[in-house]
Structure 1
Amino acid sequence: MRTEFIDPGAFRHEVAMEAASIVSDGGGGRSEIWSEVATFFALIEPVTARSRFGGDQTLETLSHRVTIRYRADVTSGLRLKHGRRILEILTVHDPDETARYLVCHTREIGR
């Protein structure tokens, strides 16, 4: 079985992992609040950048592959924050099933 090796110096981007919680706004509605769960270093690599026109506006989509050291609490639905950039986690997998690294496929929000 092939094992992945990543230079430890490649984990140079400090990111904060955030989880959402739903709170009542007091008027019968709800709002989503994101709170920081953990902070760690990651390798962030751009994968795709797409631009399409729809509804009289340009819609841009950026995706990234984020590699981190293994953590059992990382799941899709969470997000990573790197500076002012927000990366929504779409999928998470262990590339060589050795519980050393996780690869998160993400989509950048608000760009």
Structure 2
Amino acid sequence: DEILKAAVMKYGKNQWSRIASLLHRKSAKQCKARWYEWLDPSIKKTEWSREEEEKLLHLAKLMPTQWRTIAPIIGRTAAQCLEHYEYLLDKAAQRDNEEEAADDPRKLKPPLYTAPSHPPF
């Protein structure tokens, strides 16, 4: 990664073949993808805000699977958007399962037995 970063600083973002020649067994396409998906300093790496999550869910509903279109609108990479979207779906499904389990009569615990309050005959 350090060699790739240094090469991009030296040769710029349009010389992927030249950059790849400096790296052992890496293609120009691989170098470009690594830079734009992970190493580019402009990639936002902070926690997702509530607003970003809401925007992501809204855009994913409007443009399902269009992560490369959604990413610049959100200000994240396509990979980050897809990964976080899947995380949000998993979190929602887990919450739904917990709610269903709480409502399932088979999961309810019987009330503790309390002795009758009147004296025996």
Larger RCO (CA under 8 A, 6+ residues apart): 1
Q: Same fold (TM over 0.5)?
A: no
* TM-score, scaled to structure 1: 0.23
* Structure index of larger Rg: 2
> Hey, which of these two has a bigger chunk of helix by percent?
2
* TM-score, scaled to structure 2: 0.22
